[in-house]
Structure 1
């Protein structure tokens, strides 16, 4: 290595990193998709009791908190993101008593619990919407949702030209109580997910009460679904472009359209109110007692995203720009620098994420050629990724991510190196995007397949019976947790080691500096935790092996080193 002095990332001054040691600024948070995590009753669908039974595993993995996707009462038109009752647990997942037991057990194990909240829309089976359908146009009941008269002389055309994210029109016409064709209601997603009208004060008050309901039960925060929606532009003007979510645009700039249905200025006042509710549960101001909000907001720039984490709004926002960055050293360095700088500009930490329930898993995605636009699912007749290369790069990407300052999110099963199921039969697919586009969009089912626990057990240990709500691929057997437990070099043990070292060296609340003197295809950096020992990180994305620096000991490597050198698509930590 050269002796040229390192350069400090513009957003990583020690003062900025150490001004606040709140837990959420450096936490590693593990997403549990409840349908697919663990099934305690043998019906083929995961549940809360199943999650509780596996909490010791998560504590042993080394994460700080879990985020649980929706488990509310729901007809499951969109896997629980269509909520019929925000204060009830759907019987498929258990009961409120099961939720209370999960919270108590998690807290005993030192794990915080974040729950999903879906404020943009309810289910069409929610009591409010049923009341709206039974009420006349202009009623208070309809005023909670976005009802409008149709266009044309007979009102038989939608009020505007908006399209659903899941395909088709964003409007559905209702039949009035007297049997006549009536008004139309807005649904940016499925027709069973009517959008609420957040200009209505009653809606605002209701969600403050929902927040308090779960805060009173002990939850530590909320992940907010479609956080950049809620408020729609006055007058609902036409919008010619396709409404997209989860990076579904046709080019690199289209994380989401900044159309009249997204990112309206008034949405920020809603979250200022929510922040006040959460802070009322921490009157002493103890950072360890903070309850948090995390925004799911697919936006075209980090600057727009970071407006959601200004000091009086949310605590975190997912960094989807990092998730979408191509596996190229220059691109990764740029997004790390920009992420840290824009977050520091509003006094927030950045978050890092590579996989979740809405995107192709990174062990599969990174097996595609770098720069390939991320697909919305992969089907059997699509070009197939290189599974071996994908897992190799995924391990290297995770090792890079977990070294970075800030908070990190993991998706259940990624610690096992799980790929997407890229050969799911169309007949079993359940994503409404697949149904509403007649298969044009493959959808998200491939990343939601139940995870394997025991290789030789029915449903790979996911269920006591040989049942799983989506079929598991054969490759999941060798990747089951019991096959990796205690096995040096396994992906599970790699994650455990990375998480242990990250905590020991306090990398989450540390600073970052880039180390010069390396080939542009190599990411070379040093992270220093608050009071911890500096850790040097080398991620080799180039063809030629990279020599290890003198005088440093290898702490962990994402892949096998070759004669003291780091081969392609391997990340190593040294101290």
Structure 2
């Protein structure tokens, strides 16, 4: 039996000479509104994150990605940015951001911030100026303003649909009170798309990059990066564009993955390469692996989220195929593959694995819908995480998954804030269930989310969240938190983020088995029990059972060294 592994992080400070840190990094996403509240207003903030850096250091992550904390009316959870170079007062100040960067670096944790370049808020000064200006003006040229179709311009300029349901166009009222032009918004009405064909937009975002790089950030996660360039003429596209976007009849949709995006990425890479150390770009692009790999070619972005992997159901054959396809696509361009199971836009994997088969990742679940099997979902989620952390490349974790947090699938509908809820006419509940504030202490007001008692958290926490609190799991060697801590320590000690993966031949149906150097990984997804070789030493087991000679049942992953 292996001895307990010391899980306290030993890194002290950032080594700028470690230029390859991103290739095998474990990066932890923080959704600031829901992480930790320092002032009792029920909303998470930057000082709250600072107060919890010890948790992240002990967890053993290499970097933190912060979802937007910029000034915003919060119609889309901060992804409607009104000022890219400041901090929203509800989250703190620029001084708080500077302190967070400095203190995280002191813990050996890098900071990655969100860049939202496809669209801004309708409160952004540039869009307000565009609304006040005349058709054809330089102010409107920063966005996609077009005359409408129909006899009186009463129809949208094309048939594009918003990712949040409904038309992707909204008509404005001109200064003289008459119905006027339409503006493009691939998301909410309050999020007008920038026109990246205008050099002023490119110049302004270069300024934004340097603003945060000068403050010491270590990179950017780039939101909706594959939508920046639209096809000339904005042609109609009568096809759905939700989920991973693939070509139809040999063509990509005119609003996604156009060739011109790569020029922008190369320009940004040159900016980042001006700075000491390696500052990285990570792409959010819902594309298949072979298209995503084009974004991480030399001289472009460093990483791209592997959404094909995130979308997989709990099925051994599909998971293995996606691993093979992902590694091959990224190896071809010399980039590491990333792995991710949850984020702020999708149902947490501890809940979606509580269903059999595929689920709609972004639709949300309400009180009257079929509910996930919570124990089954957690068992599978632990097994899926242990499998993922043994793969070569970089890993992204989402806050709370280290606690085994489920989605809040019984959130009251009158508390929902995701714009898709209203835009869909209450047909799609959306993503709020994955954004509920974290539980830190059992039994405390707001489960310790607020450092001082708050009347309400911005999204209500269910009573059962207390069962998942950090303090409750901290001393339990069988807890999900302990599993994550130990897995991250082992991953680093064994160098699992680097190197090759070798499939074990003859694996039974429903089982995934591969070698990583001297260890083997066996994930029994849905197969019959598999007995480990005699003399094997179990290093990690998703179900906590390290008994020598054990059999591995379904929904379980083990890391082990084979016997002689």
Common topology (TM > 0.5): yes
Q: Is 2:551 aligned against 1:565?
A: yes
Counterparts of 2:550 and 2:247, CA distance in 1: 40
Counterparts of 2:278 and 2:296, CA distance in 1: 15
Which moves more between the two structures, 556-565 or 22-31? 556-565
Deviation at 1:46, TM superposition (A): 0.3
Three-state SS of the structure 1 residue aligned to 2:197 is coil
Counterparts of 2:225 and 2:114, CA distance in 1: 11
Three-state SS of the structure 2 residue aligned to 1:367 is coil
Match of 1:297 among 285, 301, 305: 285
Q: Is residue 162–residue 243 contact of structure 1 (8 Å, CA) maintained in 2? A: no
Three-state SS of the structure 2 residue aligned to 1:477 is helix
Counterparts of 1:21 and 1:221, CA distance in 2: 13
Q: How many residues end up aligned between the 2 structures? A: 538
Deviation at 1:477, TM superposition (A): 0.6
Which residue does the alignment assign to 1:266? 260
Q: Which deviations, in whole Å up to 9, do the C-alpha atoms of 1:283-318 show, x marking residues without a partner?
A: xxxxxx20000000001x211111110011100000
Which residue does the alignment assign to 1:446? 433
Which moves more between the two structures, 148-157 or 72-81? 148-157
Match of 1:457 among 444, 450, 468: 444
Three-state SS of the structure 1 residue aligned to 2:441 is coil
Q: Is 2:558 aligned against 1:554?
A: no
Superposed, which structure 2 residues align to 1:116-155 within 5 Å?
Answer: 116-155=114-153
Superposed, which structure 2 residues align to 1:338-349 within 5 Å?
Answer: 338-349=325-336
Q: Is residue 80–residue 119 contact of structure 2 (8 Å, CA) maintained in 1? A: yes
Q: Which deviations, in whole Å up to 9, do the C-alpha atoms of 1:73-128 show, x marking residues without a partner?
A: 00111010000000010011011000000000000000000000000001001010
Which moves more between the two structures, 146-155 or 415-424? 146-155
Which residue does the alignment assign to 2:7? none
Q: Is 2:497 aligned against 1:508?
A: yes
Q: Which deviations, in whole Å up to 9, do the C-alpha atoms of 1:250-277 show, x marking residues without a partner?
A: xx999xx931111111011110100000
Q: Is residue 164–residue 243 contact of structure 1 (8 Å, CA) maintained in 2? A: no
Unpaired segments of 5 or more residues in structure 1? 1-19, 283-288, 529-533
Q: Is 2:61 aligned against 1:63?
A: yes
TM-score under structure 2 normalisation?
0.93
Deviation at 1:444, TM superposition (A): 0.2
Three-state SS of the structure 2 residue aligned to 1:276 is helix
Which residue does the alignment assign to 2:74? 76
Match of 2:387 among 372, 377, 400: 400
Counterparts of 2:205 and 2:519, CA distance in 1: 44
Counterparts of 1:75 and 1:50, CA distance in 2: 21
Q: Is 2:480 aligned against 1:491?
A: yes
Deviation at 1:542, TM superposition (A): 2.9
Q: Is residue 32–residue 67 contact of structure 2 (8 Å, CA) maintained in 1? A: yes
Which residue does the alignment assign to 2:207? 209
Q: Is residue 247–residue 253 contact of structure 2 (8 Å, CA) maintained in 1? A: no
Q: Which deviations, in whole Å up to 9, do the C-alpha atoms of 1:212-255 show, x marking residues without a partner?
A: 000000000000000110111111111112342x55x8xx999x
Q: Is residue 49–residue 94 contact of structure 1 (8 Å, CA) maintained in 2? A: yes
Superposed, which structure 2 residues align to 1:466-477 within 5 Å?
Answer: 466=454, 467-477=456-466
Three-state SS of the structure 1 residue aligned to 2:86 is strand
Deviation at 1:141, TM superposition (A): 0.7
Superposed, which structure 2 residues align to 1:276-315 within 5 Å?
Answer: 276-282=270-276, 289-299=277-287, 301-315=288-302
Three-state SS of the structure 2 residue aligned to 1:182 is strand
Superposed, which structure 2 residues align to 1:175-186 within 5 Å?
Answer: 175-186=173-184
Unpaired segments of 5 or more residues in structure 2? 1-17
Counterparts of 1:365 and 1:253, CA distance in 2: 27
Superposed, which structure 2 residues align to 1:92-103 within 5 Å?
Answer: 92-103=90-101
Runs ≥4 residues deviating over 3 A: 371-375, 560-563
Q: Is 2:407 aligned against 1:420?
A: yes
Superposed, which structure 2 residues align to 1:155-174 within 5 Å?
Answer: 155-174=153-172
Q: Which deviations, in whole Å up to 9, do the C-alpha atoms of 1:369-394 show, x marking residues without a partner?
A: 03445452111111111111000000
Which residue does the alignment assign to 2:113? 115
Report the RMSD for the aligned CA atoms in angstroms. 1.6
Counterparts of 1:375 and 1:201, CA distance in 2: 34
Counterparts of 1:231 and 1:62, CA distance in 2: 38
Q: Is residue 345–residue 362 contact of structure 2 (8 Å, CA) maintained in 1? A: no
Deviation at 1:471, TM superposition (A): 0.7
Counterparts of 2:130 and 2:239, CA distance in 1: 30
Q: Is residue 548–residue 564 contact of structure 1 (8 Å, CA) maintained in 2? A: yes
Three-state SS of the structure 2 residue aligned to 1:525 is strand
1:90/1:509 Cα in 2 relative to 1: closer, same or farther (>3 Å)? same
Counterparts of 2:462 and 2:528, CA distance in 1: 35
Three-state SS of the structure 1 residue aligned to 2:350 is helix
Superposed, which structure 2 residues align to 1:242-257 within 5 Å?
Answer: 242-244=240-242, 246=243
Q: Is residue 21–residue 509 contact of structure 1 (8 Å, CA) maintained in 2? A: no
Which moves more between the two structures, 557-566 or 501-510? 557-566
TM-score under structure 1 normalisation?
0.91
